[in-house]
Amino acid sequence: MPFFHSASWSTEDGERFPALASLVDATRNCTAETFWNFSAAFEEFFNSSFVSSFLAHELGRIARTADYEHVQSDDEIEVLRGENFRVSIGKIKAYSPLGNDHTEVVCYANDFVYANLGPIPLEFELLETPREQVNEVFDRSMVPYSVRICRQQRGETIKVRAGVDILKVSKPERDTYQIYAVSSHPRKSLLWHYDADTLVPKYCTAASLMSSRVQTAINILVRMGGQTTATTAAIASAAKSGDHFVRWSAIAAVTSLDPHMGLELLQTALADPHPYVKAAAQSALVKLQGEGGANRG
């Protein structure tokens, strides 16, 4: 739950926080396609005194009332749910020699812009995806390339384009805070996850929240083991998803659990409308046929 929502914005809210009122007014009719048209409004808001006045004003309220539930974790406070975007205050945790840091970096499907609140500069490498990369088609050869090394000073704003820009952040010596605006609706179908050391693509996840939940549920069921006919059938039902990557996740999972049912799904997938699913099914069938011949030999 955000502290404020543009749909229920009140005159009283505006009087308490003029900078936030200006942002709400300036970003009316914002959409995923026009998000970057409001860059100046976001940057002006980030450079205002909103964060300090908001935290000082709301701290007592958080302590006194049930509004404390709005703080979902110690890493993020969702401040505003605007028109097709949200504004939050978040934290990048300090480096820990005991932690498993930097195992992967992600190319996100939503546009976002953020400012460093400090207390120290934030260092990161800015990467970009290859121009020939097709977001909907997973390809391990699509390794992102380095653009530059950045040292983001306190108050400086960085823009991150969906499906293009990747930030490989160096863990700071101390916890560092940001305020950011994120488009609520993805412009790309998939999030790409890369190995942090080699930058080789590892896997993709669905950008749609519901599709991502289905994909996660499939992975949990597979890894838990002890599948029954009912659970395998439940996974197989996801092969009819409207998201091609969820369809393929379901087909691959069923094939690993029940080769006979998986074979049927793979054969059906040869007629899938998405070229990625069709090509993956063809490749899997060739592999299965080769394994079958080896076993007979």
- Summarize pLDDT for 68-82 with one digit per residue, the tens: 454 445 578 889 999
C-alpha span between 257 and 97 (Å, rounded): 39
Whether residue 42 contacts residue 114, with contact meaning beta carbons closer than 8 Å, is answered with: no
The pLDDT of residue 293 is: 53
Cα torsion through 49, 51, 54, 57, rounded to 10: -80
Please give the backbone phi and psi of residue 240, each rounded to the nearest 5 degrees, phi first. Answer: -100, 10
CA-based end-to-end distance of the chain: 61
The pLDDT of residue 225 is: 72
The pLDDT of residue 137 is: 83
pTM of the model: 0.77
At 87 the three-state DSSP class reads strand
C-alpha span between 146 and 144 (Å, rounded): 7
C-alpha span between 82 and 25 (Å, rounded): 10
* Interval 177-210: pLDDT, tens: 999 999 999 999 889 999 999 999 998 888 877 7
* Close Cβ partners of 200 (under 8 Å, ≥ 6 residues apart): 140, 143, 194
Are β-strands 76-81 and 4-5 bridged in parallel, bridged antiparallel, or unpaired? parallel
Of the CA atoms within 13 Å of residue 96, those in its CB half-sphere come to 7
Question: Which ranges of the chain have pLDDT less than 50?
Answer: 67-68, 70-72, 98-100
